[in-house]
Chains A and B, each alone.
Chain A
């Protein structure tokens, strides 16, 4: 009853394989069972804890990371699939100490409370703005609707994404 909860099917440990990908602009490689969820490889093997565990079944979005600039739910994403790709986590969003416009907008709008869903929210919004740089409010709601926030920061998250979209106009960031 618990194995599936951490985002994987029940099976024996498989043979280790070496998986190489780019993580926040730096090359990394891990030698492990390629079926393991990217979430736990990031949080344990690679020590990046900004990506959160929320449900283990891709329902909540707390574990969202970018693979080739597209949002994926890392709790159900086998690490093997990241081989040769660009992975970006919340730790790799600010550049040279400068917050990304989305991070700035979340801060300026107080678009968070406990902060646990925030990395997933920001990266889902990043992916959304890549696909649609000028979303309407309705499009933001649709794009974010599969990410859960229990504290109820929703309206501020929508406002923050709108203002980040404006700030990012012109292809910056």
Chain B
């Protein structure tokens, strides 16, 4: 499939009662059978800052060449939705997986979409896609009944062929049925979806469909697009957030051969036909900046977040805290801290903009091509019809390419100024500087146990992490969860893989372990006794069984930890084994078992890849990753000091995906990461008796915590 073969369509005023010109457009796409559908019925989509434009936001096409194409504004940034979505589509239409093409993230080919985040591709977009596919199959059956002169109920669809079940050689292919047709339908509200017993592809493990392209480098990312005459830009950056430009002298840079200087308001950039020579030129710019007024750093930030938190919002409550306090024989009060984290995708924010007259085309590394398009329309003052964002393969996002698309605007402004196609590819230092970090956060918990060791009350306050994952799910009669978000951050913050939930799980599951220890109970048994949700109990039992877990009160000295969490509809439980070097404070995670109830796992292999990725990535925020900063300056600017998980850090990983084909599909991209901090913290405590209250649990912090116990 080559996206350039498709003409562009503007979908903004597209109605299903197609007028003639629209029909022409469908013909221009090559004709075929089209089914339009809307993926806007989930609460997730409703929560977007803008609703879907009309009554559909995706469509599929069965072409006369036998290809089945899904046009969607979702994007692939490594999570594997191109494989799982294709499985759903192929299964419901009854074609081989190889016949399916995905056209994604192109604002001129695909209808509007709010973005790829929140593990919504499969659970949010998947069901309407299946409904549309079922409708396409119904259209094919109608056409076949007419062509074969056989009643529909006798027809069987299989592998892109429809045949009469009483006379199998009376048959017609999808290719023949789509020949010369241009049919547009809308997906039904109550489609005839396949039942799990009829699945041929859904629920079966498939390898990634893009791996050959990626292993051979045929896969192109935004930075790999080449246009004739293109220039590479380097932009003058401030040394600190909040530092204002006082004066600038670009003359030395301008003297270098082949350099173009652009100085347009706040934008000072040099451009060259080679990116490294543009970088050299930008370093010749003499610039003076006012110092940043920010007094914050990675030490005083936590006080700031609490002192300036403003009014809290009650996220959950039940019973009466006063009564709970009276019931309690033991009260545990603890404060948990978490620093800023970078997304640090391997591909930095990149854009290539080509402006020709009043038309703009931008190849963009983004999770939100349509939001980027809106921003471009505003920045350029062009008509929406004349702005196209194309999303090639994206080299990792994790939320970081959802809220920040600044590089698109920079490239577009520079292309407009120079009349040439311009690439802006942020350096790693710019990536660390302009990232919308996962926010630093504080959680305070007061909780109580009765004489019998039952939870009595739970008073939970979270500052700056947000409410996702904040409400507890244990059987606690008197409780309150309050979220405070009033304090401003010294730089941009934004969603980072399962926003808020990592911090909230670290605090909650650490506190639950403290309560188990006080109750002199094994932490797995304490949870099983006090969990209410059957799905939570089931995943914890599954993890314990896979691990071969034997109960013992904690700290047992074995170095075993447990944690449970829920995110995007999925339940997850992990049990980890760690080894702690008490002298150096170094923690090695030896083994992690992760069990997940995600309902119907469309591609169990893809789900496992995501779980492994979550567990591995999670080790970073747990043990090493922390953004250091002072007075608006970001002190970690590359991977020498910002330490990502490496091969040597990765434990033996075992995963269990519960087989629940009759259940709805829940999210898979994020859940397994949310309790990595908690499970390791609990394992360190089990090994040493030391309770770590701050992420990341660096060797220094581990040493200090051990010393405090001794």
In the assembled complex, the Cα of A39 lies from the Cα of B279 at a distance in Å of 14
Please name the residue on chain A nearest to B279 by beta carbon.
A6
Known: A45-B274, A114-B396. A148 touches B345 (CB 8 A): no
Contact of A122 with B by CB under 8 A: yes
- Contact among B78, B207, B237 with A1 in the assembled complex (CB-CB below 8 Å): B237
Q: Does B216 lie within 8 Å of A114, measured CB to CB?
A: no
Q: Does B430 lie within 8 Å of A94, measured CB to CB?
A: no
Contact of A55 with B by CB under 8 A: yes
Q: Does B211 lie within 8 Å of A116, measured CB to CB?
A: no
Q: Does A5 lie within 8 Å of B427, measured CB to CB?
A: yes
Q: Does A36 lie within 8 Å of B274, measured CB to CB?
A: yes
Q: Which of B327-335, B594-602, B607-615, B700-708 contacts A (4 or more CB under 8 A)?
A: B607-615
In the assembled complex, the Cα of A54 lies from the Cα of B219 at a distance in Å of 16
Q: Does B647 lie within 8 Å of A2, measured CB to CB?
A: no
Known: A2-B427, A49-B217, A99-B212. A153 touches B613 (CB 8 A): yes
Contact with A along B218-230 (1 / 0, CB 8 A): 0111011010000
Q: Does A108 lie within 8 Å of B207, measured CB to CB?
A: yes
Known: A110-B605, A152-B612. A99 touches B216 (CB 8 A): yes
Contact with B along A36-62 (1 / 0, CB 8 A): 110110011101011011111101101
Q: Does A99 lie within 8 Å of B215, measured CB to CB?
A: yes
Within 8 A of A (CB), among B327-359: 344-348
Q: Does A107 lie within 8 Å of B279, measured CB to CB?
A: no
A64 surroundings in chain B (CB, below 8 A):
none
Contact with A along B396-429 (1 / 0, CB 8 A): 1010000000000000000000000000010111
Q: Does A151 lie within 8 Å of B430, measured CB to CB?
A: no
Contact of B190 with A by CB under 8 A: no
Contact of A162 with B by CB under 8 A: no
Q: Does B283 lie within 8 Å of A113, measured CB to CB?
A: no
Contact of A149 with B by CB under 8 A: yes
B80 surroundings in chain A (CB, below 8 A):
113
Contact of A8 with B by CB under 8 A: yes
Q: Give chain B nearest CB distance to A77 CB in angstroms.
A: 12
Q: Does B639 lie within 8 Å of A55, measured CB to CB?
A: yes
Task: Give the total of A residues in contact with B, Cβ under 8 Å.
Answer: 70
Interface size on B, as a range, is 35 or more
- Contact among A7, A12, A57, A142 with B256 in the assembled complex (CB-CB below 8 Å): A12
Q: Does A8 lie within 8 Å of B239, measured CB to CB?
A: no
- Contact among B207, B234, B617 with A150 in the assembled complex (CB-CB below 8 Å): B617
Q: Give chain A nearest CB distance to B380 CB in angstroms.
A: 25
Q: Does A60 lie within 8 Å of B276, measured CB to CB?
A: no
Contact of A144 with B by CB under 8 A: yes
Q: Does B277 lie within 8 Å of A148, measured CB to CB?
A: no
Please name the residue on chain A nearest to B617 by beta carbon.
A152
A99 surroundings in chain B (CB, below 8 A):
212, 215-216
Known: A1-B237, A114-B347, A150-B396. A103 touches B283 (CB 8 A): no
Contact of B650 with A by CB under 8 A: yes
- Contact among A36, A54, A122 with B428 in the assembled complex (CB-CB below 8 Å): A54
Number of interchain pairs (Cβ within 8 Å): 210
Q: Does B212 lie within 8 Å of A107, measured CB to CB?
A: yes
Contact of A171 with B by CB under 8 A: no
In the assembled complex, the Cα of A122 lies from the Cα of B215 at a distance in Å of 8
Q: Does B346 lie within 8 Å of A49, measured CB to CB?
A: no
Q: Does B224 lie within 8 Å of A2, measured CB to CB?
A: no
A150 surroundings in chain B (CB, below 8 A):
344-346, 396, 398, 617, 644
Q: Does A6 lie within 8 Å of B276, measured CB to CB?
A: yes
Contact with B along A113-155 (1 / 0, CB 8 A): 1111111001000000000000000001110111111111111
Known: A3-B282, A49-B220, A54-B346. A148 touches B639 (CB 8 A): yes
Q: Does A49 lie within 8 Å of B223, measured CB to CB?
A: yes
Contact of B653 with A by CB under 8 A: yes
Q: Does A151 lie within 8 Å of B396, measured CB to CB?
A: yes
Please name the residue on chain A nearest to B673 by beta carbon.
A152
Please name the residue on chain A nearest to B427 by beta carbon.
A5
In the assembled complex, the Cα of A55 lies from the Cα of B609 at a distance in Å of 25
In the assembled complex, the Cα of A163 lies from the Cα of B308 at a distance in Å of 55
B650 surroundings in chain A (CB, below 8 A):
152, 154-155
Q: Give chain B nearest CB distance to A18 CB in angstroms.
A: 17
In the assembled complex, the Cα of A154 lies from the Cα of B614 at a distance in Å of 11
In the assembled complex, the Cα of A140 lies from the Cα of B220 at a distance in Å of 28
Q: Give chain B nearest CB distance to A57 CB in angstroms.
A: 6
- Contact among A7, A49, A59, A103 with B224 in the assembled complex (CB-CB below 8 Å): A49
Q: Does A6 lie within 8 Å of B646, measured CB to CB?
A: no
A165 surroundings in chain B (CB, below 8 A):
none
Contact of B208 with A by CB under 8 A: yes
B215 surroundings in chain A (CB, below 8 A):
99, 103, 106-107, 112, 115, 118, 122
In the assembled complex, the Cα of A156 lies from the Cα of B616 at a distance in Å of 11
- Contact among A37, A47, A152 with B613 in the assembled complex (CB-CB below 8 Å): A152
Within 8 A of B (CB), among A9-41: 10-13, 33, 36-37, 39-40
B130 surroundings in chain A (CB, below 8 A):
none
Contact with A along B33-63 (1 / 0, CB 8 A): 0000000000000000000000000000000
Contact of B298 with A by CB under 8 A: no
- Contact among A39, A90, A117, A157 with B216 in the assembled complex (CB-CB below 8 Å): A90
Q: Does A52 lie within 8 Å of B648, measured CB to CB?
A: no
Q: Does A148 lie within 8 Å of B613, measured CB to CB?
A: no
Please name the residue on chain B nearest to A105 by beta carbon.
B215
- Contact among B211, B279, B346 with A3 in the assembled complex (CB-CB below 8 Å): B279
Q: Give chain B nearest CB distance to A140 CB in angstroms.
A: 8
Known: A36-B277, A44-B275, A149-B346. A53 touches B425 (CB 8 A): yes
A53 surroundings in chain B (CB, below 8 A):
223, 348, 425
Contact of A68 with B by CB under 8 A: no
B481 surroundings in chain A (CB, below 8 A):
none
In the assembled complex, the Cα of A117 lies from the Cα of B78 at a distance in Å of 11
Q: Does B214 lie within 8 Å of A112, measured CB to CB?
A: yes
In the assembled complex, the Cα of A93 lies from the Cα of B216 at a distance in Å of 8
Q: Which of A12, A59, A108, A114 has the most CB of B within 10 A?
A: A114
In the assembled complex, the Cα of A33 lies from the Cα of B639 at a distance in Å of 28
Contact of B585 with A by CB under 8 A: no
Contact of B394 with A by CB under 8 A: yes
A54 surroundings in chain B (CB, below 8 A):
346-348, 428
Q: Give chain A nearest CB distance to B613 CB in angstroms.
A: 4
Q: Does A152 lie within 8 Å of B224, measured CB to CB?
A: no
Please name the residue on chain A nearest to B615 by beta carbon.
A152
In the assembled complex, the Cα of A94 lies from the Cα of B224 at a distance in Å of 20
In the assembled complex, the Cα of A107 lies from the Cα of B646 at a distance in Å of 21
In the assembled complex, the Cα of A12 lies from the Cα of B653 at a distance in Å of 50
B393 surroundings in chain A (CB, below 8 A):
114-115
Contact of B640 with A by CB under 8 A: yes
- Contact among B79, B217, B280, B348 with A113 in the assembled complex (CB-CB below 8 Å): B79
Contact with A along B271-292 (1 / 0, CB 8 A): 0011111011011100000000
A108 surroundings in chain B (CB, below 8 A):
207
Contact of B645 with A by CB under 8 A: yes
Q: Give chain B nearest CB distance to A101 CB in angstroms.
A: 11
Q: Give chain B nearest CB distance to A147 CB in angstroms.
A: 8
B284 surroundings in chain A (CB, below 8 A):
10
Q: Give chain A nearest CB distance to B371 CB in angstroms.
A: 20
Contact of B638 with A by CB under 8 A: yes
List, sorted by A's number, 6 A–B pairs whose CB atoms are closer than 8 Å: A2-B427, A6-B276, A6-B279, A6-B427, A112-B215, A115-B215
Q: Which 5 A-B pairs have the closest CB atoms?
A: A50-B217, A152-B616, A114-B78, A115-B214, A116-B395
With A60-B346, A114-B347 known, 16 other A-B pairs at CB within 8 A are A47-B226, A50-B216, A54-B348, A57-B639, A59-B638, A59-B639, A107-B207, A110-B207, A110-B609, A113-B613, A114-B345, A114-B393, A114-B395, A141-B648, A148-B644, A152-B615
